[in-house]
Amino acid sequence: MSTTKKIIPCLDVDNRKVVKGKKFLDVQEVADPLTLAKKYVADGADELVFYDISASTKNRGMFLDLIEEIAKEVPIPFIVGGGIRTLQDVDKVFELGGNKISINSAALTNPELIKEVADKYGSERVMLSMDVRQEGENKWSVYAKGGMEETGIDAIEWAKKMEALGAGELVVNSVDQDGVKDGYDLALNQAMAEAVTIPIIASGGAGKPKHFKDVLTEGQADAALAASVFHFNEINIRDLKNYLAKENIAVRND
């Protein structure tokens, strides 16, 4: 468990533009990925996530040139996800300058991919991302195909299995909260944090600075990921970190 908490902006990219929807629907274009990436680095982001949101659902390759372009400009850890199906895809992302990969759909069809990547590159470069919906009290299920298709897999059990295979971090994305902006799912993140020993990155639901504080304390997350509040300048990363520091939450603020 790291004591310093991280703030991670996420670029959801479709058709070479950053987009944002609500509960994965009504997706609208927001901005140019490179422009936003540079802004977030300047604003003090700890890491940056690039999710090619339609590569898996449309079954096409990743925007490799775009990944390379951003990797060149980003001095902080650059995480790439979406469309990664094989170890060769991972090799390619790392060759282009990506620092970590985030695997979601591919782990559902081939869990061993997590182990292959961890064996070759080390767990610290492998993030397992999962889209989950609440099914009942303290019960969550993993969803596939961009949060559309129920897998019947229990999210907590899946997290444990993926940690055992070598995942070094866990992105827990609440589909119920995605883009809704009324707070992260604290019970979900807390349950995850208690089930595994690897860092938890909370995703889905950020609307105001207090939501970050709540998930990093009560929710026991190690990092908080957000998209639209940063994209639309509703929250500035530097201001957010100053607020968290005042609330006695350790953040990197340089």
DSSP string, 13-63: EETTEEEEEETTEEEEEEE-HHHHHHHHHHHT-S-EEEEETTTTTTT----
> Among 167, 187, 185, 205, which Cα is nearest to 81's?
167
Q: Which of 14, 46, 131, 222 is catalytic?
A: 131
131 is catalytic: yes
Identify any residues that bridge with 79 across adjacent strands, giving them in sequence order. 49, 100
Asked whether 184 and 226 are in contact (CB, 8 A), the reply is no
Q: Which of 12, 14, 178, 222 is catalytic?
A: 12
Q: Burial code of 61-95, b = ≥16 C-beta within 10 A, e = fewer?
A: ebbbebbebbbeebebbbbbbbbbbeeebbebbbe
89 is catalytic: no
CA pair distance 90, 93, nearest whole angstrom: 5
Active site members: 12, 131
